[in-house]
Structure formats: structure tokens, C-alpha cells
Structure 1
Amino acid sequence: MKVMWRYTKAYKGLLFLNLICAFGFILIELGLPTLLAQMIDVGLRQNDFAYVQKMGWWMLGIVILGVAMNIGLGISTARITSNITADIRNELFEKTQTYSHYEYERFGVSSLITRVTNDAYQIMLFLQSTLRMGLVTPIMFVSSLVLVFRTSASLGWYVFGALPFLLVGIVIIAKISDPLSVKQQKNLDKLNGSLRETLSGLRVIRAFVNESFEEKRFEDINRDYTQSSKKLFRIMAITQPAFFFLFNTVMVLIIWQGSIQINAGDLEVGNLIAFIEYIFHALFSFMLFATVFMMYPRAAVSAGRIEEALEANPTIQSPENGITTTTTKGEIAFERVTFAYPGDSESPVIRDVSFEAHPGQTVAFIGSTGSGKSTLIQLLPRFFDPTHGKVKIDGYETAEYDLAHLRQKIGYIPQKALLFTGTIAENLRYGKEEATDEEIYRALDIAQATEFISRLPEGIDTKISEGGSNLSGGQKQRLAIARAVIRQPEIYIFDDSFSALDYKTDAALREALKPVTTQATVLIVAQRVGTIRQADKIVVLNEGNVVGEGTHEELLETCAIYYDIASSQLTEEELRK
């Protein structure tokens, strides 16, 4: 309840309106049978038509007021719960933006999506029930009981006889539904994860003709979710018929005993009718409250999952009063850096790596797959922190920087180009929000993207589908490069960003980059020797260790691993050029 109350108390004005409407609704609901009893026992019994008419007008007024109160209750409840759900989703989304790789691994992307969508929705449903019924029903129940005993204490004991059965049933159902709610939400996480993975890998699935395998796997996960849901809903479905059986039994006994008392002259007909109304409100209020109570375990599970996500402390955080200005721009130094992924400290991906890069230099990294090239450069924008050693930019460790300022110094082009839904212009302005059309076209020229953009009917206003699915791999990569170029950063990081380009486009792009990167530091991760042979410095990695450092010509003479890589890609004549 702590999480739910934290969001709910932000809307004190609406809560006050909700409370006023709830009290008004209770008074009206209980006032009607009281007036009806007076109408029957006084007006009809004494043939006083004026009194009957008077009570009728009072009842009509109360009905109109009751409708107004009920509408007010519904509006205030809807606004509170809608706002709370929006607040939860906004805060969760903002929190996930601060997560590091470790937090995403810990929770899982599909689970985070479920928490933002389904868990927030479960809380909304619970709060709607609580604000509409949870406030009304306890007061209605107590008030109804008071009126029951005031009208006929002897008949009132039938109600008390039914309460222990109701209480025991509620406790049993709550205990059974709690673990089922946990299981249901976990199965929903798995369902979302399977669906996300299948849709992302649809081309691979079709290429290997494995649709039937994926269908079977999804069916198994869906069956588990269905089974846990059916068990939970079956338990919830039992409550209403069980209540009405108990309710009808109590009503039969009361009418039976009430008719005996009327016959004996101990009870008026109007009082019996009012008594039945009071009993109905008392027991029905108790049932509604029980429904809210039984919804709590499921909402509590969702609230706990949301709280867990909100309270997770990111391993990568911006320090207070972090560095935002430096005298130099683009100086990089790795000092005996070792890095292992969290939970795998026995197997470092990078071991004791040291090198320097200066403004105006191009430093390249090459090595076999899994040698740690991409991991190494991801330490610069602080996607990870080194396990040992220091990563410095402009003389300061990356951990000393204000995180936003650190990343603004860097233009990062990932190995897998990612574009967002929107236009080409909007995607490029992701790198520089205030970029003009002239700057956009200049960046596209440098990235060798102008030619294919000019063939598009709407040019830079062409819509990009989700993930850039309506573009080829090379087109997406060039737009990703243009997005970084438009930013004019101090440090460029190309993480195997030229692999989707042909040799001609690769060469033309690198040539066009030279004038705009003369004052910047350029880091290139590559598999092709042809892409990096002109670099000022090449760092050769093997199983996380630096096994060579120098120019192309120097490494051919001094590093056997580099020579093997180069000779496998270039002819003997090309090696010596």
C-alpha cells in the first residue's frame, strides 16, 4: 500500500471530493428506506395522502442528489486513478532511462514492459475499486448495522450469524490468491518475452523454417499463463454465488421471523421493508468490501514489482557536482584497465589495457570476434565502469563527469544501427535538436546518404518504420553516422559502423569525415583491415589483451596476429602498399 498511497496523496483535492461524495451517497442510500418506512407506517396506515406526497417529494429529491453524488464519485475516482496510472508509468519510464546494462539484465526488458503496462493497470483497477467501494462500504456496513439493530435487535442477530462465514471465506481466498497472482505476473513476463523475441527474430525464424517450433514454444508459455489465470479467476468466481447463497438464506430467515413479529404486533410492515433494505446494504457492502480485499493480493504483487523497479539503484550514476567543463577536448587515456561483466569477475573481458588517443588522431581497434573491442570503447560513454584501472577523458576519470555532459562530448555509432519511428529529419535531430535543414543535408553528404535520400519522394521528411525496417542495413548505418556527425562531438566512436557498407562507400565516407574530424578524436572498431589501415594508431586485441600497437606498417612487422588478419583479407601487393 505504501507505493499506492504515495501516488494517491498527491491528489488531495480530488480525494476530498471523493470522500464528500462517498459520505453523501451513503446518507442518501440509507435515507431512502427510512423515509419509505415512514411513508408506509404513518402515511399509508393513517390514509394521510398529504404526508405520503410529502415523503414522495423528499425521496425524489434524495434520489436526484444521490445521482449527483454518484456521478461526482465516479468522476473523482476516474481522474485520480487515471492520473496515478500516468504518474506511475512516467516515473517508471524515467527510472528505466537511468538503468545501466546490469539493471536491464537483472529485470529483463520484457518484465520492465509488463511492469509499465500491466502492473500499472492492475493498480489502477484496485484503486478504482477502493475509491468507489473501499471508502463507501465500511461506512455503509457500520451505518446499516446501527440502523438494523435500532429497527429490530432480535432480527439483527441473523446478520451477525452470517459474518463469521464471510470472514473465514475472505481470508482463505486471499491466502490462496496471493501466490497465484505472483505466478500469473511471472508467466505474463515470460509471455511478453517470448512474443518480443519471436517478432524481433521473425526473419531468422522464417529462414530456418522454424515457425512450428516457435508456435509450440509460445503455446507452452501461453498455456502456463492461462492455467495460472484460470485458477485465480475460478477462485474469484466462487465468491459471488457463495455470497448470494448466504445472503438469500439470511433474507429468508429474516422475512420468516419478521412476518411472525408483524403477526404478533411487535413489528410494523414499513419497518420490516426498511429492515430488509438495511440488511441488503449491510451484507452487500460487506461483499463489495470483500471483493476489494480479494483484489489486494494481485495489486500488492504489482505494486511490489513497481516498487522494486523504482528503488533499484543504477550501478552507473552521475556524481553530484560532476565535471562539466575541461580545458582540453578529446584527450583519452586508458590506464591499466580491466573489465569483467557483473557477476563474472573471474573471467575479465578486458585485461590490463593501456593506450592514449589525442585530438586529431584516429585510433583503431581490431582483433578476433570476442576479443573485447566493443566492450573497450563502451567504457568511454560510461555504459560500464572498469573493474580495475582508470578511463580518463581530458585528464579526468569518466566517473567524475556529469553523466549528461560526458555523453555530449561523444558521438557514438553502434554496431547495430538503431533508428526511431519518425521522419529522417527527426532521427538526425536526435543528435542535435536545433539542427537546421542545411546542417542535416551537410551531415547526409558526409555520411554518403544524400544519393538514396534524394530518390525518396519526401526526402528527409520520409517516415521511418519501427527500427528502420523500411531501410536497408547500409542505409540505416549511414543515417546513424549522419546523426553522430551532425552533433560535431569532441570524440567519435565508430563501433564496427562501416561493416554494412561496401568498400567504395566505406572509402568515400572516411574521406569525407577527415575535414570534420581534424580537431576531434576518432576511435574505430573494425573487422576489415582496409577500413583502418590509414589510422594513426592501431590497437590489436586478443582475448582481452593488447598484443600489438602501432601503424599498419609497423604491426605487419611486429605483430603476428595482425599480420594473420591482414594477410587473410589483402593480397601480398596490397599488404605492402
Structure 2
Amino acid sequence: MRNKRLLLLDFICVFGFILIELGLPTLLAKMIDVGVVNQDTDYIKRQGMLMIGITLIGITLNILLGFFGAKLTTTIVRDIRDDLYEKIQTLSHQEYEDIGVSSLITRTTNDAYQIMLFMGIILRTGFMTPMMFLSSLYMVMRTSPSLSLAVIFSLPVLLIGVVIIAKFSDPLSVKQQKNLDRVNSILRENLSGLRVIRAFVNEKFEEERFDRVNKDYAESSKKLYKLMIAAQPAFFFFFNVVMVLIIWFGSVQINNGTLQVGNLIAFIEYIFHALFSFMLFASVFMMYPRANVSAKRIQEVFDTEPTVKGNEEGQEETSTEGYLTFNNVTFAYPGHTESPVIRNVSFTASPGETVAFIGSTGSGKSTLVQLIPRFFDVSKGEILIDGVNVRDYSLAALRAKIGYIPQKALLFTGTIAENLRFGKEDATLEEMKKAAEIAQAAAFIEQKEKGFDEVLSEGGANFSGGQKQRLAIARAIIRKPAIYIFDDSFSALDFQTDAALRAALKKETTDATVLIVAQRISTIMHADKIIVLNEGNIVGIGTHQELLKTSSVYYDIAASQLTEEELA
């Protein structure tokens, strides 16, 4: 178990604080019954000094209790977030879609924060209150068994109140956290799609949409907080009623001579600690449903089994590099097995060869290439790289063979150099310059004031779409993989830059396998092999000239983009 030392110190502080808190009323009772009654000034002074010393020790222990509790709480939640982030990294794309990216962010931030609040209460009062209550109850019964009956009869009423509040707060907590997921989801969409929203003048619509979910969250939060706030004065009212009854019956016993004044004062202190401890414990119990909801949501992520499992003992190295084979590959998304996206796809690709994929929107081009680095696993058939099934590799070794450039160029906050080194951690300046030249990015990088040290804002928003695509391509080139996958990665480039980049790339990738997904015929017409997809099926394989004659689907696509002279 982690943090054993901090937990032990917390227990020591709790135990010491309880002894001191319960010891003070006992000393006070003796001071009154012995010192005041007998007018023994020296005894009163000695008891007073002892009480001051004990009070100082109690203050010190209380401070240390707060310190150790805070340190332990923050450490535990830090570890939860670290473990949760590590678990999220193992999830496949399917789990991201099932749980939701916004929900994963909420679970890592807000849900972990709720657990931190609850842990703080537990460590500071949750451990203390049961021990304080039992100890106080023992002292109450020892001091005056008859008066202790008032406490014993009051406990069931308090317990019923706690159970009722917990029962109502649990569904409210679940609803609150789900509404928070929706708030984060819409906020994330709005911030990501800000330009689209402004372009279509839909700010008012989005404001109203956000206002609706925000009101739902506020409403569920209000109901939960009202329940918690109403509980506190109700408990205090009941607490005061019990105290008044005890003082009343205690005064009667003093008048009858069956109870001393000092013992009554000590009894009131004990009863205060007993009932107040119970109230604090009740508040902890009432916070439990909300923390429990957050804990379950976090545990749900930990319990999620990724559909794409990393093979830790998988193969790391092969004698060849860059050979790719698809054997009757079929793929359907989970839950949609009757409607596969890819059907019985078979082809081969070898080092030095450029294989292109083209087809109408939704034909399965991007899905097909995403099966290679195991973003998804095939439903039927197999994919071999260098004669080894991709499932038999360790994920790190498999993906180290691949340079993947997605359709949407994703860059990270930081410098250009840091983004390029994402492809190769120890890349030198010369390697970065060479990769930038091949990707046709060197010219605009040189124009930047800081060159490779130019800082990209979030998502590379301060660069154009074409610049971001070229940097993403350079990031893959610097890795020098055995297989390049360009998933429609040239779409934001003009024809001249596209042609120059492909010419430079062909010289660089003579020993690598290049896979290109594209919509533009001009991008792929010089490929060694073009695979035409239609509704997940291969409907044509060959060169540009061959497909113009043999594939009607390819011819229609080409006819829509090329002149009659180019088609001839």
C-alpha cells in the first residue's frame, strides 16, 4: 500500500487529539469540584497550567493532522490521476467513442476532485469522529448513566435522518455528474468549432444550447446543495433540544445533590463532543453518495477492457522491413457486425512501392489504413507486416515501423522542433532541416522569426492548414519508418506543392512502402498500384492507365477531375 507513513502519522494525530479533547473536560471538572469548592488556589493554578499545556499540544496535533491529511489526500488523488491517464492511454479508439472524450476529461478532473474533497473529510474527521463519539459516549455513561439515556434515545433519530438524506442525494449526484459531462461536451465542441459557428452566424443558437445544459446542471446542483444545506440546521436544532433537556435534568440532579456542578459541566462537554462527532460523521456520510458516484465513474474506466490489446510479449524485430499483406480482411465496428465497413480486402505492398487508395466518400479508405497500426482490429482475415500478423507484435514495435500522417494534421502546443521531435526524440537540427525540406516546409519555417523554435499555439492555430499538414508530414519523415501511411494528408496543399512534395518524398522512400489515401487523381496517378474501393469492396487494382480502361468507378472519379486530353 502506498503512503503508509503518512496514514500512520494521521492516525497518531487523530488519537492524540481525541485524548486531549476528552482530557480537558475531566481536568475542568476536577478544578471546579476540588479547587473551586475547597477554594484551593494552588490546585486551580496547577490544573490551569496543565490545561494550557494540553491545549497547546492539541493545537499542534490539529495543525499536524491538517498537514498530514492534506498531503496524503493530494498524493492519493495525484496517483489516481496518473493511473487513470496511464489507463486512458491503453484504450483503443472504440473505447474513446463509447465513453466520450469529454466524459474522460471530467472523470480525470472533476471526479478526481470530488474524491479529493471526500478523502480530505475522511482523513480529518472521518477517522476522528467514530473514535471521538465512542470515547465521548463512554465518558458520558461513566459520568452520569441517567443523563446518558437522553443521548442514547437521540441517536436513532439522527441515524434515520442521515439515511434519508443519503438516499435522496445519491440519484442527484449521478444526475449532476452526467449533466457536467454534457456541459463539458458542448463547451469542447463550441471551442473547437468556433470558426464554423461564426461563419454560419450561429452564436445565438449555440448560446441557447449551452444555456439549456448549463441550467440542467445548475438545477441538479441546486437540489443537491439544498438537501445538504437543509440537513445542517435540522441537526443543530435537534442537537440544541437535546442539550437543553440535559441541562434541565442535570440542574434537577444538582438540586437533589446527586450530581456535582463540575461533573455536569464535564458531562455537557462530553455530550457536545459525542453529538458533534456524530453530526460530523453524518456530514461525511452525506457526502459519500457524491464521492461514490465519482469513484464508480473512475473505476468504470479502470475496468474497461480495450478492444485492441497490446501484446506485451509480442515480437519486436523482423529480418525484413516494409512488406505488407492483407489477407481477406473484413472489418465491422462493434455492434454493427452485419454491416462491415471493409469486406474481404486482399492486396500486397513491398518496399519501394507506392500503393494508393481511392474511392467515394464512405468507401472505407481511411478505415482500411487505420487497421494497419491497430487503431482498430480486423473482424476477419489478417494483416501481415514482414510476414508477422500485426496482433503478434508488441504495439510499440508495430507502430515504430509505421509513419502515420492523419487526415487532420494534429500538432501540439510547443515549438516546431518539439513537434518534429515527436517523431524522433533525439532528432538533430540537420535531420529536422532535411525532413522539412522534403515536406516542403523549410521555406515558411525560415521565414519565421525564431525558425524551428517558433511556438505553435494550441492545435497549431497560428499556422495555416497547409503548413500544419507539411509539419505533420515532416514529423513522420524524420522517423524514417518502414511503412508510410498518408491518410488524405495532401488535401490542404496546392497542386504545385503537392507535386514537389511527392517528388522529394519518392527519393526519400526508395526503401520504404508508401500508402496514400487521396481524393485527388493527380496525387495518386503516378502510384505503382492504385486500389479502388466502393462500399468497402475492392472494385479495381492497377495503374492509372490500366484502371481508366478496366474500372468504371475509377474512370468516373478521374473524369470529374481531369480533362479529356489527360484521360486519353
* CA–CA separation in structure 1 for the residues paired with 2:9 and 2:372: 53
SS, match of residue 147 in structure 2: helix
Note if 1:501 corresponds to 2:476.
Answer: no
Indicate which of 177, 181, 199 corresponds to 1:207: 199
Q: How does 1:79-228 map to 2 (within 5 A)?
A: 79-228=71-220
* CA–CA separation in structure 2 for the residues paired with 1:417 and 1:483: 11
Amino acid paired to 2:23: G
Indicate which of 5, 9, 14 corresponds to 1:13: 5
Note if 1:526 corresponds to 2:502.
Answer: no
Q: How does 1:367-406 map to 2 (within 5 A)?
A: 367-406=359-398
CA deviation after TM superposition for structure 1 residue 336, in Å: 1.0
Q: Deviations over 1:379-428 (max 9, x none)?
A: 11011111111111101111111111000000000000000011110000
* CA–CA separation in structure 2 for the residues paired with 1:162 and 1:192: 44
Q: How does 1:343-358 map to 2 (within 5 A)?
A: 343-358=335-350
- Counterpart in the other structure of 1:449: 441
Note if 1:264 corresponds to 2:256.
Answer: yes
Note if 1:338 corresponds to 2:330.
Answer: yes
SS, match of residue 333 in structure 1: strand
* CA–CA separation in structure 2 for the residues paired with 1:363 and 1:482: 20
- Counterpart in the other structure of 2:539: 547
Aligned length: 568
Q: Deviations over 1:489-509 (max 9, x none)?
A: 000000010000000000111
How many percent of aligned residue pairs carry the same amino acid? Answer: 67
- Counterpart in the other structure of 2:267: 275
Amino acid paired to 2:413: T
Note if 1:492 corresponds to 2:484.
Answer: yes
SS, match of residue 463 in structure 2: coil
Amino acid paired to 1:63: T
CA deviation after TM superposition for structure 1 residue 266, in Å: 1.7
- Counterpart in the other structure of 1:565: 557
CA deviation after TM superposition for structure 1 residue 574, in Å: 2.1
* CA–CA separation in structure 2 for the residues paired with 1:478 and 1:112: 31
- Counterpart in the other structure of 1:300: 292
Indicate which of 483, 494, 497 corresponds to 2:475: 483
CA deviation after TM superposition for structure 1 residue 299, in Å: 0.9
CA deviation after TM superposition for structure 1 residue 575, in Å: 2.6
Q: Deviations over 1:331-362 (max 9, x none)?
A: 01111111111111111111111111000000
Indicate which of 45, 57, 61 corresponds to 1:53: 45
* CA–CA separation in structure 2 for the residues paired with 1:140 and 1:547: 78
- Counterpart in the other structure of 1:418: 410
Amino acid paired to 2:186: S
Q: Deviations over 1:502-536 (max 9, x none)?
A: 00000111111122100000000011111111110
- Counterpart in the other structure of 1:463: 455
* CA–CA separation in structure 2 for the residues paired with 1:152 and 1:323: 76
Note if 1:253 corresponds to 2:272.
Answer: no
Indicate which of 215, 223, 228 corresponds to 1:231: 223
* CA–CA separation in structure 2 for the residues paired with 1:319 and 1:418: 27
CA deviation after TM superposition for structure 1 residue 307, in Å: 0.8
Amino acid paired to 1:461: D
CA deviation after TM superposition for structure 1 residue 89, in Å: 0.6
* CA–CA separation in structure 1 for the residues paired with 2:377 and 2:138: 66
- Counterpart in the other structure of 1:6: none
CA RMSD of aligned residues (A): 0.9
* CA–CA separation in structure 2 for the residues paired with 1:138 and 1:321: 49
Indicate which of 323, 328, 343 corresponds to 2:315: 323
CA deviation after TM superposition for structure 1 residue 320, in Å: 4.0
CA deviation after TM superposition for structure 1 residue 571, in Å: 1.0
Structure 1 unaligned segments of length 5 or more: list them.
1-8
* CA–CA separation in structure 2 for the residues paired with 1:137 and 1:154: 24
CA deviation after TM superposition for structure 1 residue 10, in Å: 1.6
